[in-house]
Amino acid sequence: MNLFKRDYLGRIFLNFENAKRSRNLKSYPLTENLMDCYMRQYWLFGKVDETICENVYNYSLKGRYIKGERLLSCSAKFSYLYALNILQGRFELGEFIISTSSEFSYLYASCVLKGRFEMGEFAISKDSFYSYKYARNVLKGRFILGEKAISKNCEYSYNYALKVLRGRFELGEKEISKDFNYCYMYARNVLKGRFKLGEKSISKDADCSYMYALYVLNNRFELGEKEISKDKDISYMYVRDVVIPFYNQYNWGNFNNRYRC
């Protein structure tokens, strides 16, 4: 009978919280009786609503609130905020729930631990942005577990190669090859040479084709000449900076006489 009463009261309290939220009512001041109701809901259902965690966190802004830490450990967001702003250090009780979120796992590692957070690496590895940020700002080196996610985004693949690996990132080259700007920058700044996989994309843009020929190939880029020919200004620069020096280098005669306009 006692178990039935506890379950009944817990469910009523849960309905009360949901109704309060749907009607945009302000949270009630945290009191011992209200805290007991919160704890009752936690022990009955194994979790509490996010609004309850927020209420407990706001109360803890006065200082560490040990009694409410178990409730805070039900929310990744408020566990992280509690560790960052209240404890100003590790919050072990909340690390499990933090480790389920890629965002808060990265933030917890970067801002609280200021180092590796192994428990959260699996969650981080599912997100390309946080995998790249974790590798660059926390590990300051390669993050093998997150490379698959990083490789699905051309921007993060390029930045991962340039700023973390400081060299080729083969897993991300397929995605990089879909964007002519990143193809050109990857060839020039990372490979420092020809990027065959991306040349088809580069050839779709006159400006990138010109710069690829000038700064990467140091030679004509025949695949991109069709696009270059559509822009008179880039055509002029291409002939001046790439084609004429190329002919003069191999002494193939005076270019101006052979192709007089």
**Which DSSP state fits 66?**
G
Per-residue pLDDT, 22: 57
Question: Long-range pairs for 234-241 at CB < 8 Å and ≥24 separation?
Answer: 234/206, 234/207, 234/210, 237/210, 238/210, 238/213, 238/214, 241/210, 241/214
Q: Which residue has the higher pLDDT, 261 or 140?
A: 140
Structure tokens belonging to residue 76: 């990744």
> What is the mean predicted confidence (pLDDT) over 23-45?
59
User: Rounded to 5 degrees, what angle do the CA atoms 18, 21, 27 make?
Assistant: 115
Q: What is the pLDDT of residue 254?
A: 55
Q: Sorting pLDDT into bands at 50, 70 and 90, what band is 2? A: very low
Structure tokens at 14: 């849960």
**How far is it, in rounded angstroms, from Cα 169 to Cα 216?**
18
Question: Looking at residues 37-43, what average pLDDT do you find?
Answer: 66
Kindly give, in sequence order, each residue whose CB lies less than 8 Å from that of residue 150, ignoring residues fewer than 6 positions away. 128, 131, 132, 135, 143, 156, 157, 160, 169, 171, 172
Sign of CA dihedral 210, 213, 219, 222: negative
Residue bearing tokens 């109701």: 37
- The whole-angstrom distance between residue 93's C-alpha and the CA centroid of its chain comes to 26
* Residue type (1 letter), 26: K
What residues have CB less than 8 Å from 190, skipping those under 6 apart?
158, 161, 162, 167, 168, 169
| CB-based contact 10:45 (threshold 8 Å) | yes
Task: Report pLDDT digits (tens) over 213-228.
Answer: 999 999 999 999 999 9
pLDDT-derived band at 18, boundaries 50, 70, 90: low
**Which amino acid is present at 223?**
L
pLDDT recorded at residue 5: 45
Strands (E), the chain: none
- pLDDT over 70 for what percent of the chain? 77
Render pLDDT for 151-194 as a digit per residue (tens, 0 to 9): 999 999 999 999 999 999 999 999 999 999 999 999 999 999 99
